[in-house]
Amino acid sequence: MPAEALKCKECSTTYPLDARYVCERCFGPLEVAYRAQTSSADELKRRIQAGPDTLWRYADFLPVERVPRSSLPTGLTPLVRADRLAERLGLGELWIKNETANPTHSFKDRVVSIALARAIELGFDTIACASTGNLAGAVAAHSAYAGLPAYVFIPADLEPEKILSAGAYGAHIVGIRGNYDAVNRLCTEVSGEREGWAFVNVNVRPYYAEGSKTLAYETAEQLGWELPDRVVAPIASGSLFTKVARGFQDFIDVGLVEGGAPIMNGAQATGCSPVAQAFAAGTDVCRPVKPDTIAKSLAIGNPADGPYAVELARRTGGAVDAVTDDEIRAGIRLLAETTGIFTETAGGVTAATLAKLAERGDIGPDERVVAYITGDGLKTLDAVAGSVEVTEIEPRFEDFEANVAVPA
């Protein structure tokens, strides 16, 4: 397989490719390290283009021994040119990566695809997760396809759409009376005690995190093997944000694309913005916060990859911004009205941050910008409840004429 070892991000100690996630020496997080590519860029491109119409076409860059014989098809989501939104914001070339097109309508299908495949290779027989919502649905669906029992641990006050859809796939749902950070702590404890349980974002987290790289691979391929100048993406744990940058760097390193790494802009909700606060304060230290925002899928008060996200934004000349709940609702509306894509609150955070960057003049007129819209608006309907006006009439033509028809 292309992966070589698990490696500590802090002290570089290496470990075998098994189910572990923390360095025994320094307690730093582990990530997957790869062998140097021996194939030429042309060979790699040929293999990608001849591969399946899913994220498994990028198997040369993923940490599994073999591509699963069958799996819930994930990835190759549309990259949508957003001219009307660009015009509204005074931008040049703008693209939306529409992750609502995945099987459970969020980017989490990607990370679960990789984690599940590796968990099966490592001999696990039960799949579990600590979730802010979208992950629960993805774990439930992919486990259902694979025929494995699933346990999803969520904050009990999660949006009903996310709880019900995860339940529909037959997962055991454990609602915790506490926030995500409490859920995550409990899952860490359970994962140490339950042999045979793979918690996708705990004990097999290094493999899980690699799934987000495919967002960058696809973007580059869909842009005709070119890079964006700037990326706008949401930050919860910081994993997606940092792995998207890694994905672009992978393609640069092997010569599949030319040019410099994109500027990285992170998006958070003001009600849970430990990474944006660290960026603003000029430090890498993300002080934990108690989340209070409608963007529940981003509500991680103690983000594991926060310091790496801050460092990445700073190094690439980007930033990490935060937007209020009202701005999030406006962002959802703005995106829907100009692109036909209805996103959940996390996507509202991304759209609102994009608008803020445009307004501040951070984005040059010739820049090619890609914004990652990570989840579906049908999962957070409460956030937009009351914002739509219905013209109710009797079923009579006169009523229609009197109340609906626009005067000439």
Closer CB to Zn ion, 32 or 254, in the complex: 32
Closer CB to Zn ion, 8 or 383, in the complex: 8
Q: Tally DSSP H helices, then E strands, for the chain.
A: 14, 13
The interface with Zn ion within residues 6-25 (CB under 5 A) comprises: 8, 10-11, 13, 23, 25
Neighbours of 60 (CB within 10 A): 18
Query: Token pair 């209070």 is at which residue?
Result: 292
Two tokens, residue 352: 């609102």
Angle of helix 213-222 versus helix 239-253 axis, rounded to 10:
50
Closer CB to Zn ion, 25 or 315, in the complex: 25
Please give the size of the binding site for Zn ion, defined by CB under 5 A.
8
Percent helix, percent strand, percent coil in the chain, to nearest 5? 40, 15, 40
The interface with Zn ion within residues 18-77 (CB under 5 A) comprises: 23, 25-26, 28
The interface with Zn ion within residues 220-249 (CB under 5 A) comprises: none
- The least CB distance from residue 203 to Zn ion, in Å, is 17
Closer CB to Zn ion, 11 or 285, in the complex: 11
Backbone angles phi, psi at 237, to 5 degrees: -80, -20
- The least CB distance from residue 28 to Zn ion, in Å, is 4
Query: Token pair 């009439």 is at which residue?
Result: 393
Choose among 156, 174, 100, 180: nearest CA to 345. 100
Two tokens, residue 222: 């869909």
3 binds Zn ion per the rule CB under 5 A: no
The interface with Zn ion within residues 181-210 (CB under 5 A) comprises: none
Backbone angles phi, psi at 389, to 5 degrees: -95, 130
Choose among 296, 310, 291, 297: nearest CA to 374. 297
- The least CB distance from residue 16 to Zn ion, in Å, is 15
Closer CB to Zn ion, 2 or 28, in the complex: 28
Closer CB to Zn ion, 14 or 40, in the complex: 14
Q: Which stretch binds Zn ion (CB under 5 A): 1-9, 120-128, 165-173, 329-337?
A: 1-9
For Zn ion, the binding residues (CB under 5 A) are: 8, 10-11, 13, 23, 25-26, 28
